[in-house]
């Protein structure tokens, strides 16, 4: 019923050859430290080392979880999710505009590229910002100037307005004379 182990076979050979008797085998106690107390100590040390390794692994997992807790927190995840959505929407727009972007990139902005020494790059950057600002103000002032009517037009409009005003003044004067004459005539008739 029980399978025969290798140790049982060796012991049976020892009994068969006469190096050991069955009585000696029966007198052997069945405790685990029978072969060597040192073996039991080593087994206990190995078990303690295994427990220490397990505890240190658990401690390392807790440290890792603590250090990455802010990464896995829903607040930070929602911020990252929002930034990822914004980034993907930007990429989708770039993909939609891919052909026009290619055409714009292939078309040179200037007729020639100007070689600039490396130590002057930062000055060129500030200069370009100033140039852009100058061009913006220049365009704004040109629009203002274009919206102002020319001087000849304004003089003509001013003369026309003055003529109309004088015509209305003379008309008002004639009407007041008529009113005064009519108001003075009924007094003469009554007397």
Does residue 84 belong to any structural domain of this protein? no
Does residue 99 belong to any structural domain of this protein? no
Residue span of the structural domain in which 24 resides: 1-30
- 27, two tokens: 């007198």
Does residue 2 belong to any structural domain of this protein? yes
Residue 124: which residues within 8 A CB-CB, separation 6 or more? Answer: 116
Does residue 51 belong to any structural domain of this protein? no
Q: Is the pTM of this model over 0.75?
A: no
What pLDDT does residue 108 have?
Answer: 66
Does residue 105 belong to any structural domain of this protein? no
At 184 the three-state DSSP class reads helix
Does residue 83 belong to any structural domain of this protein? no
- The mean pLDDT of 111-122, rounded to a whole number, is 75
Task: Give the pLDDT confidence of 27-43 residue by residue, as tens digits.
Answer: 776 665 556 677 778 88
Does residue 21 belong to any structural domain of this protein? yes
Q: How far is C-alpha 107 from the geometric centre of its chain's CA atoms? A: 30
Helix residue spans in the chain (DSSP H): 6-17, 22-27, 37-67, 69-72, 74-96, 98-106, 121-147, 151-190
The count of domains in the chain is 1
């Amino acid at each position: 019923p029980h399978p025969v182990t290798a140790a049982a076979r060796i012991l049976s050979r020892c009994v068969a050859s006469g190096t050991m008797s069955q009585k000696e085998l029966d007198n052997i106690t069945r405790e685990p430290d029978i072969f060597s107390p040192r073996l039991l100590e080593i087994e206990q040390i190995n078990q303690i080392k295994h427990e220490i390794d397990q505890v240190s692994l658990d401690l390392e997992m807790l440290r890792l979880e603590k250090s990455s807790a802010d990464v896995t927190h829903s607040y930070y995840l929602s911020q990252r999710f929002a930034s990822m959505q914004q980034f993907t929407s930007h990429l989708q727009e770039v993909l939609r505009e891919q052909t026009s972007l290619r055409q714009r990139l292939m078309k040179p902005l200037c007729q020639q590229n100007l070689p600039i020494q490396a130590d002057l790059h930062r000055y060129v950057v500030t200069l370009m910002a100033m140039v852009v600002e100058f061009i913006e103000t220049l365009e704004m002032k040109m629009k203002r100037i274009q919206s102002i009517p020319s001087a000849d037009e304004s003089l003509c409009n001013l003369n026309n307005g003055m003529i109309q005003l004088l015509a209305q003044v003379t008309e008002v004067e004639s009407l007041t004379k008529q009113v005064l004459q009519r108001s003075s005539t009924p007094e003469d008739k009554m007397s």
